[in-house]
């Protein structure tokens, strides 16, 4: 894996998209996800999660940019990002009006961060604090 890999997909007006494959139980869907470092969770539009047969595992309240609170169901899926492999991640089961988003939790599960200036995903510089014992 390179230090920084370019995103596949459109880049316009500061929006960054990445092509991904979402999988569950032998079914898969190829989609373009908006990389949204301000979104906590990855969101799948209703037509996508319905095709995959995702079942709700619970509900979550989400706060929109305008301060409105909405409730959505959550599930789990496997997401494959070309060049980075695949990971198991929570996903919000979106409604018709929602967009497919790649959120920060999924990025962190992959160990990635969005570089907004270069519009690339790059590995997180992970820090681990350990205790040093004097002997």
Query: Is the model's pLDDT at 96 over the cut of 50?
Result: yes
The pLDDT score that the predictor gives to residue 5 is 46
pLDDT band at 119 (very low <50, low <70, confident <90, very high): confident
**Domain assignment present for 130:** no
Q: Is 87 left (phi over 0), alpha (psi -120 to 50) or beta?
A: beta
Within a domain: 1: no
Query: Which tens digit of pLDDT belongs to each residue from 34-90?
Result: 998 889 999 999 999 999 999 999 999 999 889 999 999 999 999 999 999 999 999
Report the number of distinct structural domains present in the chain.
1
In terms of Cβ atoms closer than 10 Å to its own Cβ (0-12, 13-18, 19+), residue 12 is exposed
Contact by Cβ (8 Å): 54, 29: no
The CATH number that applies at residue 57 is 2.40.70.10
Please give the residue range of the domain that contains residue 14. Answer: 7-123
pLDDT in tens, 23-33: 999 999 999 99
């Amino acid at each position: 894996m390179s230090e920084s890999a370019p995103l596949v997909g459109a880049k316009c007006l500061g929006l960054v998209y990445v092509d991904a494959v979402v999988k569950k139980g032998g079914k898969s869907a190829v989609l373009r996800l908006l990389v949204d470092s301000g979104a906590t969770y990855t969101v799948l539009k209703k037509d996508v999660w319905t095709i995959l047969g995702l079942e709700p595992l619970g509900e979550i309240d989400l706060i929109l940019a305008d301060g409105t609170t909405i409730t959505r169901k959550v599930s789990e899926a496997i997401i494959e990002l070309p060049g980075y492999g695949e990971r198991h991640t929570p996903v919000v089961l979106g409604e018709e009006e929602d967009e497919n988003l790649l959120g920060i939790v999924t990025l962190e599960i992959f160990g990635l961060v969005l570089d907004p200036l270069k519009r690339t995903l790059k590995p997180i510089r992970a820090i681990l604090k350990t205790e040093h014992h004097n002997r």
